[in-house]
Copies of this chain bind each other. A is one copy, B any other.
Amino acid sequence: MQIAEVLQKLEQGARRLTPQREVIIRLFAEHPGRHLSAEEVHALVKEEASEIGLATVYRTLELLTELGILQRINFGDGRARYELNQEEPHRHHHLVCMRCGRVEEYGEDLLDSLEGRILEERGFKVLDHELKFYGLCRSCQKAQGHH
C-alpha cells in the first residue's frame, strides 16, 4: 500500500495524519509478514525512541482497520493481531503451528469460485473470508519425533 493511498483513505474519513499514526503505519510497512498485536506495536514504537500511549495505539489500530488499511486477525491467543490489508486479488491464508505458535502465510486463494456458489445456494453475500490451517510446522514435526 502506498503512502499516498493511506493519506487518501484518511482524508475520506476526515481524519488527520498525526505523527503517531504515521509511525504505526510505517511500522507495519517495515514488518511485512508479521502479525502484530497492540502490545507489540506499542513496544516496537518504544524501540524507535518514540513513545505512543497504549490507548492511542488501540484507537489507531481500530481506525486503520475501519479504513481498510489494516486487517484484524484472531489466532486464538487471546489478543487481536493486525497486518497490512492485502489488495483484493492477493488475499492469503495462514498456517498456524499449534506447538510453537508461529504463523506462516499461504499464498493462494482458492475460494473465489466458492463465494458465488454460496450466494446462489444460500442467499448469503460473502464480502470477506478467513481461512486458517492449524497443525505442526516442519521443525515442530521433527521435534515431536525425537523429543
Q: Which A residues contact B (CB, under 8 angstroms)?
A: 72, 74, 76, 95, 97-98, 104, 106, 110-111, 114-115, 118, 122-138, 141
A135 and B130 contacting across the interface, CB-CB below 8 Å: no
Which chain B residue lies CB-closest to A98? B127
A106 to B111, CA, bound (A): 14
A98 to B66, CA, bound (A): 13
14 A-B pairs whose Cβ atoms sit less than 8 Å apart in the complex: A74-B76, A95-B118, A98-B128, A104-B124, A106-B122, A110-B114, A115-B133, A123-B138, A125-B135, A126-B135, A127-B135, A128-B133, A128-B134, A129-B131
B106 and A125 contacting across the interface, CB-CB below 8 Å: no
Which chain B residue lies CB-closest to A137? B124
A106 and B133 contacting across the interface, CB-CB below 8 Å: no
State how many copies of this chain the complex holds. 2
A118 to B94, CA, bound (A): 11
A131 and B128 contacting across the interface, CB-CB below 8 Å: no
5 further A-B contacts with Cβ under 8 Å, apart from A129-B134, A130-B134, are A95-B126, A97-B124, A118-B133, A126-B134, A129-B133
B128 and A129 contacting across the interface, CB-CB below 8 Å: no
A147 to B128, CA, bound (A): 22
